[in-house]
Amino acid sequence: MKTTFLAALLLSAAPALAQRQNFPPVDEADRDPALVDFRADLLSKVRARDTEAVVAAACPDIYLSHGTEGGPEELRSNLTQQPETQSADATGNTDAYWQALQDTLSQPGYFDDQGEFWMPHAWKITLPAALDPFTAYFVSGDNVSLRTGPSRSDPILDLISHEVVIVPEHRSGAEYQKVLLTDGTSGYMHGDFLWSMVGYRAALVKTEAGDWQICTFVTGD
């Protein structure tokens, strides 16, 4: 992550944690037409659930987990849910793994200092050390409703666009999550618009021959 974010954010501060900032995503892929074509083709293969085509698009040492060796065979295992070789970061649900890959590749991305293309764009944001990254989420939409309660019928407090918010206690499967804005405002937001700051991210890398490959697909801190 490169962009400075909320350097003064301290969870113990009250009531405001820091001034609110938003980070509108800008997709930099069009700087390289070959990248645009590769990503579109890879996405079509992912949508078709074409395991062998996706594996063929991977680096020989694709990074897939913080605790395994990676590589195309591990990717194939994760995509086909072969229990004997499946990595620790595979969800145990093949459909969910495919969907996570599709969702990640569909996000706006950016080029890092080494020329690698990373998605989602929110991975560029640097979180301060005082903030537990596992409680930080990026609001991935425009004018997302912050409500007084966990229902569409509850009044709207504010409309939030592309901010980092805190979800102190994420409830798996819940439609709405209780969130805390960095100015101290609390409310409820639909979970579909909350992207974990330690969630899945992917990196596409150009080889010396000029071909693009997917070289990272990983989740966790």
Residues 6+ apart with CB under 8 A from 176: 147, 149, 150, 151, 188, 189, 190, 191
pLDDT at 18: 64
Do residue 56 and residue 148 come from a single domain? no
Poorest-confidence range of 4-13, 30-39, 191-200? 4-13
Asked if residue 114 and residue 40 are part of one domain, the reply reads yes
pLDDT band at 17 (very low <50, low <70, confident <90, very high): low
Cβ–Cβ under 8 Å, residues 204 and 197 = no
Domain count, the chain: 2
Residues 99 and 192 in one domain: no
Reply yes or no on whether the pLDDT at 88 is more than 90. no
3 within some domain: no
Determine what percent of the chain falls in helix, strand and coil, rounding each to the nearest 5.
25, 25, 50
Q: Which residue has the tokens 């649900």?
A: 93
Please report which confidence band the pLDDT of residue 93 belongs to, taking 50, 70 and 90 as the band edges. Answer: confident
- CATH assignment of the domain containing 139: 2.30.30.40
Same domain, yes or no: 183 and 211: no
Is the same domain home to 137 and 49? Answer: no
- Distance, in Å, from the CA atom of 177 to the CA atom of 136, rounded to the nearest integer, reads 12
24 occurs within a structural domain: no
Domain that holds residue 135: 126-196
**100-121: average pLDDT:** 96
Strand-pairing partners, residue 160, are 144
Q: Is residue 16 part of a domain?
A: no
Structure-block tokens of residue 47? 């949508």
In a domain, 2, yes or no: no
Give exposure, 165-186, as e/b (b: 16+ Cβ within 10 Å): bbbeeeeeeeebbbbbbbeebe
For the segment 69-98, the average pLDDT, to the nearest whole number, is: 75
Do residue 96 and residue 166 come from a single domain?
no
